[in-house]
Amino acid sequence: MKIVRRALLLALLAGVASTPWWGPRAGRRIAWFAAERVEVTGARMLAPHEVLKASGVTVGLNVWTDPAPYVAALRRDPAVADAEIVRVLPRTLRIRVTEKAPAALVQAGTLRPATADGEVLALDPSRAPLDLPLFTARVRVDGRGRIADAEARAALAEAGRLGSLEPALMARVSEVRPMGGDGLRLILSSPAADLLVRDGISSEAVVRLRAALDDVMRRAAADTTAHGRPVLDARFDDQVVVHRQG
User: Which range has the worst mean pLDDT, 6-20, 36-50, 151-165, 226-240?
Assistant: 6-20
**Whether residues 55 and 109 fall in one domain:** no
pTM of the model: 0.78
> How would residue 13 be classed by pLDDT, with cut points 50, 70 and 90?
low
CATH number where 190 lies: 3.40.50.11690
For residues 160-197, one letter each, b for 16 or more C-beta atoms within 10 angstroms of the residue's C-beta and e for the rest, the string is: bbbbeebeebbebbebbbbeeeebbbbbbeeeebbbbb
Compute the mean pLDDT over every residue in the chain, rounded to the nearest whole number. 87
Q: Which of 99, 125, 145 is the last residue of a domain?
A: 99
Contact present, 212 and 199 (Cβ < 8 Å): no
Tell me the average pLDDT across 195-216: 94
Residue 41: give the domain boundaries: 2-99
Total domains in the chain come to: 2
58-111: per-residue pLDDT in tens? 999 999 999 999 999 999 998 999 999 999 988 999 999 999 999 999 998 889
> How would residue 10 be classed by pLDDT, with cut points 50, 70 and 90?
very low
178-195: per-residue pLDDT in tens? 998 789 999 998 889 999
Q: Which of 108, 192, 92 is nearest to 144 (CA)?
A: 108
pLDDT of res. 21: 44
CATH number where 15 lies: 3.10.20.310
Tell me the average pLDDT across 146-172: 93
**Whether residues 52 and 144 fall in one domain:** no
